[in-house]
Structure 1
């Protein structure tokens, strides 16, 4: 495998564009702020410059370029495989109610006995990401890892874009990229690093993603009491205080959920994914060192399987971190990226973005699912012959 970084800026245009090598399976992944992708010019330029290559990308809450976090331009990664088959499937969502069937259709387009892993990039707002992943998992099987994230729109949460193949970036698209064959090394890690505070509670009333009560008390009342003056900024300040939830019968299978909306009339909170009645819950808050440690754990987990150590040619990493982590860390956000980068080989090409949701196998169960407020790291390489 060969990996090459590409960049676009308004001043210099594209740097590093080259035609696809005959006979190679070329994949080009790109990330950028929404404004840079509106109109589709950057996507069409990548497609035109790389005939026969598969091109996919999304809008973000910030781009990860090696060990840096940037907001300008377009960052991209080109991968040429020698012994790996790469397939791209794309579906359009017409509302979050279609999420599960959308995932199943994507999975059926990729399903194969030698499918080693799936990279999933999805619309970031009008989607039920948990159901999307469940549908995809149903089609490809629970043993196939699914890694990726939801497109972002900075801190605005207004409009997210995904582009794939001949379709330029637009709302409502979901793209799944399958890596097939015995040569590919598809390794992953996922971790958070948030600290718990406040007592353990029970979810006593909810409807899907709408949290109505904790311990019989309106959910918004509890958040206002614990956040104090910061509660005036909800839902925005809620990104800094995710909710950890878990089934009491599976205490090690915990996940974080991000607060996305507030219904002040009903005193309810709207989260990124379902919060089942009867599950336990606890508020979380961030600490710079803790989030950086979580990033390092995710990267170390992705490198544990030896993707780079036994590679033929180059290796690459695709990092997806939550926009809430970026907002919490502020000017110190590069600390978590650097912590992850230091756990990866110096020669590895690194591309990533800040997302509205991360997708990866759970570190305990191994089951692929939606996460919030985590860092997810995917490493790709081909085994030496």
Structure 2
């Protein structure tokens, strides 16, 4: 696997920042960049001209990861030549979040399932019900096919997100996916959080899809604001600091849900994924050390799940909420990952509005918020 990594701060001037080969003829170019840079298609023209035969996949971010550095307002492009693996990509339009399940299923059906090993997916981060998208993909994907990926970001603005699709265009309201084929590709993945839950369990008494109206028969926004105190005036961005832990019954593993929007009139909260009626939720808050530990543990899970293969490429997708909490120490979670996977793998990634992965091997794929989610790649 030959890899070169490029960085640009304006879309026209590019520098190589990492490489394991002098000559790469990539079949995949992974692009993560700021909304302002990616919304203009011209800013990836250099890459299109340099790598005309490669598949492109990428998205806007809330921060870009390259090596152990975290950047803002850049474009990071990682050009990968898989030497023994076939790569195919497909994209699909999302007209409404209500279509998320059907579009997820439709997207996976576009791939020939024979010898398909893994699908890496990137979705619009706002015009989507992420958990329904994942459910739809999971409903038709063969059991032996793993799925990982994430939802595009837009800093902490929550205004617009962009996807680089299978036509190499930067567009909103789209989901793109890359399929990896063959027996020589080795995939590892892990996803963990590190947040602390506190307070009592509250029951979701009124919701529709990913919109929460009432907890314990109390308007959700009113109750949530009472938790936040002075932070309430900074909603929805301050909601990233206080996600919800949700479980659908007493025996299930909790997943984390982050607020995307609020509606003062309806007194509702909109989340990145479903909040079903009858579910139990608890408020969560950041624990700095545990966030770093969570990133390290996710890396350990990804390594043990890749059949002992040493990763050559690692894609890190971490939540924007973690970045807001860690602030100037944000690179510590990336460094924690590298201490586990070693210095050999080329690392890329981004800060997201949602992460897609199983917790670990053999678990089902789910939408997560506030996790560090890692996908590693190597070839025999």
What is the TM-score with the length of structure 1 in the denominator? 0.92
Alpha-carbon distance in structure 2 between the residues aligned to 1:336 and 1:181: 32
Shift of 1:64: 0.7
Shift of 1:364: 8.5
Q: Does residue 1:81 correspond to 2:82, yes or no?
A: yes
Alpha-carbon distance in structure 2 between the residues aligned to 1:152 and 1:350: 19
Structure 1: stretches of 5+ with no match in the other structure: none
Alpha-carbon distance in structure 2 between the residues aligned to 1:128 and 1:323: 17
Stretch of structure 1 that moved more, 157-166 or 261-270: 261-270
Q: Does residue 1:368 correspond to 2:369, yes or no?
A: no
- For the 8 Å contact 2:64–2:74, the answer to whether it is kept is no
1:355 paired residue number: 352
1:325 paired residue number: 322
Alpha-carbon distance in structure 2 between the residues aligned to 1:97 and 1:277: 17
Stretch of structure 1 that moved more, 117-126 or 96-105: 96-105
- For the 8 Å contact 1:20–1:50, the answer to whether it is kept is no
Alpha-carbon distance in structure 2 between the residues aligned to 1:46 and 1:165: 14
Instruction: Please list the CA deviations of residues 74-123 of structure 1 after superposition, one character each: whole Å capped at 9, or x if unmatched.
Output: 11111111211111111122222222222122201224132111100111
Q: Within 5 Å, which residues of 2 pair with 1:288-299? A: 288-299=288-299
Q: Does residue 1:128 correspond to 2:125, yes or no?
A: no
- For the 8 Å contact 1:188–1:377, the answer to whether it is kept is yes
2:88 match: secondary structure: strand
Q: Kindly report the root-mean-square deviation, in angstroms, between the aligned alpha carbons of the 2 structures.
A: 2.1
Relative to structure 1, is the Cα distance of residues 205 and 77 closer, same or farther in structure 2, using a 3 angstrom cutoff?
same
- For the 8 Å contact 1:205–1:212, the answer to whether it is kept is yes
2:4 paired residue number: 4
Alpha-carbon distance in structure 2 between the residues aligned to 1:104 and 1:65: 32
Shift of 1:306: 4.3
2:254 paired residue number: 254
2:106 paired residue number: 105
Relative to structure 1, is the Cα distance of residues 322 and 310 closer, same or farther in structure 2, using a 3 angstrom cutoff?
closer
Relative to structure 1, is the Cα distance of residues 76 and 257 closer, same or farther in structure 2, using a 3 angstrom cutoff?
same
Alpha-carbon distance in structure 2 between the residues aligned to 1:121 and 1:360: 12
What is the TM-score with the length of structure 2 in the denominator? 0.93
Give the total of aligned pairs: 376
Alpha-carbon distance in structure 2 between the residues aligned to 1:181 and 1:43: 29
